[in-house]
Amino acid sequence: MAEVQCLVPQPANLFPPLGASPEMQQKFTGSILVIKALREKLALREHRQSTIAVQLGVPLKLISFSSDAYSFTNAFTNQLVGFELVERVLLIESDPASPHFGEFPASLNGEPFLVTHSDGHDLESDAILPVIFDYINDHFIAYKKRVATLEEGVDKELAEKQITQKLSKEAFHAHFEECRRLAIAKKKPFWANPRSPVLLKHPNVSPACGTCGALASSAPVSSPVKLSKCAKCKFRHYCSRECQKEDWATHKHACKIKIPA
Q: What is the 3-state secondary structure (H, E, C) of 112-125?
A: CEEEEECCCCCCCC
Q: Consecutive sets of 10 residues in the chain, 261 residues long: mean pLDDT of each?
A: 86 49 58 86 87 96 67 40 75 81 77 89 94 88 72 70 85 97 95 94 96 79 80 95 96 90 59
Residues 6+ away with beta carbon under 8 Å from 98: none
- What pLDDT does 72 receive? 42
Instruction: Find the helix packing angle between 169-185 and 128-136, rounded to 10°.
Output: 120
User: Distance between the two ends of the chain, CA-based, in angstroms?
Assistant: 34
- What pLDDT does 171 receive? 96
Q: Report how far apart, in Å, the C-alpha atoms of 203 and of each of 63, 121, 140 are.
A: 26, 13, 25
CB neighbours of residue 41 within 10 Å: 14
- What pLDDT does 28 receive? 65
How far apart are alpha carbons 54 and 33 in whole angstroms?
22
| CB distance 6 to 23 below 8 Å | no
- What pLDDT does 80 receive? 40
How far apart are alpha carbons 178 and 184 in whole angstroms?
10
How far apart are alpha carbons 14 and 8 in whole angstroms?
16
The half-sphere exposure of 185 on its side-chain side, counting CA atoms within 13 A, is 15
Instruction: Give the sign of the dihedral formed by CA 168, CA 174, CA 175, CA 180.
Output: positive
- What pLDDT does 222 receive? 54
- What pLDDT does 237 receive? 97
How far apart are alpha carbons 16 and 25 in whole angstroms?
6
